[in-house]
């Protein structure tokens, strides 16, 4: 089925589409309205362009799963969403106010105003963390100061919900975030630390005070890693009227190890609101960066520190296993796929604490350029994702224990094995097709998986 196209004047699931407010590489924002729904409202739609990184699609799925679970003035009010089979969208409150990017664009900002704004954002983070979500992409563009005086956080495409599968981490181990604001632990793929948001807020405070970014805007991991050993220029060096207490707060937020930062958003907000209670240490008094010798020593220590911050590889508790259903949908939902579905349901029913990861591989070519869209212009990745969810619907329903993953790979078996390694899968259910001369010569996917998977494997064959 072709996806519905959004256009001004269209009616989509009862929402009347107004003007397009923004068009970016990752998505578009539209003004919408609906009888009975208080406005103003905003519709967010992802963009599927040929050659795009599919992580944008995964990020949109993440936001669709997290935003409906959030409440309060510190987030946009969720209204509705559409699925990928027709039109993926999120309708939410169009938050009225001023973006923090407007302040950062005119920085330096008066120090008293920086403290006021920082406290607003810190309280918003405290509320977000209380609802078991870490934002992980905090930056000025993702904060709106409402007309009512509260800070609202936007864009949860990179966020992590404590009680939901981390789709982004399960499909990739590259750093996810904005290079200028990303925390050290995010660089080494730890997405579970609430104090990562405290670090990002520290970068924002530094930017508002000085008009500069403490670590520049690196786009590569190698550039991001420099913050492990190179301390930023002290704000008071760049701005003489910056008080010691404010520099103390900012540099504490920017500590490399999470335990050296403020433990919570509420603690940070209190410090910003009560400068007379801030204990001034060498952090607040310094005017120079560390010298060459100290920087080199910190670089040497950082090699160990990076390993310390990296999430430990531990075995899953036996009472909460991850079961992976590796389904081949290249032939559609055929007899083998249906049989595999039965076994996947049994695995999920066998343990109420188990989680099911439904995985399929979109095979790519080694020597040729693959088409990312079909004849109707629809994303082949999205189409396969829709097929996977359709296949899993009798198994999953609305079960939060089920996640969906489309892997793009030249070698399907290698992709499945790598996924199992990366996510510490406990058991895999994989289908095996009938033997053929070609499979006997090249080796089957299921045979390679059985031989190399880091978990137990059940091979399912279609009933004759």
Q: With H, G, I as helix, E, B as strand and everything else as coil, classify residue 448.
A: helix
Closest CA to 337 of 166, 239, 463: 463
DSSP code per residue over 244-281? HHHHHHHHHHT-SSGGGS-SSHHHHHHHHH-GGGPPP-
CA-derived radius of gyration, the chain: 24
Distance of CA 241 to the CA centre of its chain: 37
CA angle at 51 for the pair 367 and 333, rounded to the nearest 5°: 80
What is the phi/psi pair of residue 63, to 5°? -65, -35
User: b or e along 321-356 (b: 16 or more beta carbons within 10 Å of the residue's beta carbon)?
Assistant: bbbbbbbbbeeeeeebbeebbebbbebbeeeeebbb
Q: Are strands 15-23 and 402-409 parallel, antiparallel or unpaired?
A: unpaired
Range list of H helices, 310-334: none
The active-site residue out of 35, 137, 166, 334 is: 137
Residue 15 bridge partners (DSSP): 12
In the annotation, is 351 catalytic?
A: no
Catalytic residues: 137
């Amino acid at each position: 089925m072709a996806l519905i196209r959004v256009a001004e004047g269209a009616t989509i699931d009862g929402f009347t589409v107004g003007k397009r407010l923004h068009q970016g590489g990752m998505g578009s924002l539209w003004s919408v309205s609906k009888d009975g729904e208080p406005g103003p409202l905003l519709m967010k739609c992802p963009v599927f362009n040929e050659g795009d990184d599919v992580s944008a699609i995964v990020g949109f799925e993440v936001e669709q799963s997290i935003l409906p679970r959030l409440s309060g003035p510190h987030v946009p009010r969720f209204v509705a969403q559409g699925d990928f089979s027709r039109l993926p969208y999120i309708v939410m409150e169009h938050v009225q106010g001023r973006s923090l990017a407007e302040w950062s664009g005119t920085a330096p900002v008066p120090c008293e105003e920086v403290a006021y704004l920082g406290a607003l954002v810190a309280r918003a983070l405290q509320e977000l963390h209380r609802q078991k979500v870490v934002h992980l992409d905090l930056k000025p563009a993702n904060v709106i100061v409402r007309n009512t005086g509260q800070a609202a956080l936007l864009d949860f495409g990179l966020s992590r919900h404590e009680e939901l599968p981390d789709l982004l981490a399960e499909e990739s181990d590259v750093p996810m975030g904005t290079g200028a604001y990303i925390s050290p632990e995010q660089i080494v793929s730890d997405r579970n630390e609430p104090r990562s948001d405290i670090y990002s807020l520290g970068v924002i405070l530094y930017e508002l005070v000085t008009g500069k970014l403490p670590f520049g805007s690196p786009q590569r991991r190698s550039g991001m890693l420099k913050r492990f050993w190179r301390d930023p220029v002290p704000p008071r060096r760049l701005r003489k009227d910056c008080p010691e207490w404010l520099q103390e707060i900012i540099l504490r937020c920017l500590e490399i190890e999470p335990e050296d930062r403020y433990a919570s958003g509420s603690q940070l907000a209190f410090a910003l609101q009560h400068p007379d209670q801030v204990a001034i240490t060498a952090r607040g008094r310094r005017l120079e960066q560390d010298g060459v010798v100290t920087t080199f020593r910190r670089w040497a220590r950082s090699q160990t520190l990076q390993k310390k911050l990296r999430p430990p590889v531990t075995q899953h508790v036996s009472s909460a296993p991850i079961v992976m259903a590796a389904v081949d949908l290249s032939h559609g939902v055929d007899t083998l796929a249906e049989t595999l579905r039965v076994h996947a349901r049994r695995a999920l029913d066998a343990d109420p604490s188990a989680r099911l990861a439904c995985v399929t591989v979109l095979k790519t070519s080694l020597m040729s350029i693959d088409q990312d869209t079909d004849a109707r212009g629809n994303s082949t990745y999205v189409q396969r994702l829709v097929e996977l969810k359709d296949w899993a619907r009798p198994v999953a329903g609305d079960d939060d224990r089920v996640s969906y993953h489309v892997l793009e790979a030249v070698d399907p078996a290698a992709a499945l094995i790598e996924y199992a390694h990366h996510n510490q899968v406990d058991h895999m259910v994989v289908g095996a097709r009938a033997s053929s001369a070609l499979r006997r010569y090249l080796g089957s996917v299921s045979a390679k998986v059985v031989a190399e998977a880091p978990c137990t494997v059940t091979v399912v064959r279609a009933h004759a």
